[in-house]
Amino acid sequence: MTPHRLRLGVNIDHVATIRNARGGDHPDPVRAAEIVAAAGGDGITAHLREDRRHIRDGDLKRIQAATALPLNLEMAATEEMVEIALAHSPHAACIVPERREERTTEGGLDAAGQHNRLAPIVTRLADANIRVSLFIEPEARQIDAAIRLKAPVVEFHTGRYAHMLLAGDRVGAETELKRIADAAALAHKNGIEPHAGHGLTFDNVVPIAAIPQIAELNIGHYLIGEAIFIGLEESIRRMRMLMDEAR
């Protein structure tokens, strides 16, 4: 297949993490959203966590008002979050597993095991014209579950791939990369748009970006961390360049 231009969604959660560390207004994730737009990002991704450790309810409307970029709301499959999503009408909602004690989203959603719980949520979001994505492991049984749930998008968790590279396990990382590539092909064949994200950096993004069926990457922690050294605009531009070169 001919690879399309790969979209970059920038997750701005950790701008809010730094803001919240001091309890004031600075740095403001809204300003980060404006920079994402100026730097050629294709979307803003924000995770409203149950404990509001970074993005807060009031940030969502402000982000939507400040930029024309589509908002991808990452959310747990709870009644509270569904109501917030319906009240804000983001372009997309990515359903993620969430445990209060975890530092970040540590594994994919068990869409296969939670079909009955997820089905009404996916339907309510889809009926409100919100593009539903399921954050899953790159596994055939999870893709089958996404097909049964009629999710238009899946996002593959790339954390394992990133972690294996960091640990120096090249063979393991290659195996994981193949799992992601096979899963992307399977999703695409079934009419589901594959995305990917978690743990992506300048050093590991290229092989993921080269997978032709993947339409979007969502990247946060590294871009915000790198922004401390080179600025947010430059951090996004470099990521964008690496992604474009991979295609």
Distance CA 159, CA 200 (A): 8
State yes or no: is 26 an active-site residue.
no
State yes or no: is 198 an active-site residue.
yes
Which amino acid is present at 109? L
Work out which of 222, 226, 235, 239 binds ligand PXP, going by CB under 6 A. 222
Q: What's the closest the beta carbon of residue 215 comes to ligand PXP, in angstroms?
A: 14
Residue 197 interacts with ligand PXP (CB under 6 A): yes or no: yes
Rounded to 5°, the CA angle 208-172-139 comes to 65
Distance CA 111, CA 134 (A): 8
Select from 57-65, 142-150, 195-203, 208-216 the region that touches ligand PXP (CB under 6 A). Answer: 195-203
Instruction: Give 43 or 220: the residue with its C-beta nearer to ligand PXP.
Output: 220
Alpha-carbon distances of 39 from 36, 74, 239, 243, 246, rounded to whole Å: 5, 22, 10, 14, 19
Q: What's the closest the beta carbon of residue 147 comes to ligand PXP, in angstroms?
A: 19
Residue the block writes with tokens 């991979």: 246
Residue 104 interacts with ligand PXP (CB under 6 A): yes or no: yes
Work out which of 199, 235, 239, 243 binds ligand PXP, going by CB under 6 A. 199
Residue 198 interacts with ligand PXP (CB under 6 A): yes or no: yes
Work out which of 28, 155, 176, 226 binds ligand PXP, going by CB under 6 A. 155
The residues, ordered by sequence, that sit 6+ positions from 63 with a Cβ below 8 Å of its Cβ are 12, 29, 30, 33, 44, 46, 71
Residue 72 interacts with ligand PXP (CB under 6 A): yes or no: no
Residue 49 interacts with ligand PXP (CB under 6 A): yes or no: no
State yes or no: is 74 an active-site residue.
yes
Provide φ and ψ at 104, rounded to 5°. Answer: -145, 180
The residues, ordered by sequence, that sit 6+ positions from 101 with a Cβ below 8 Å of its Cβ are none
Residue 135 interacts with ligand PXP (CB under 6 A): yes or no: yes
Strand-pair partners of 71: 44
**For binding to ligand PXP (CB under 6 A), which residues are involved?**
11, 13, 47, 74, 94, 96, 104-105, 135, 155, 197-200, 218-222
Task: Return the active site residues.
Answer: 47, 74, 198
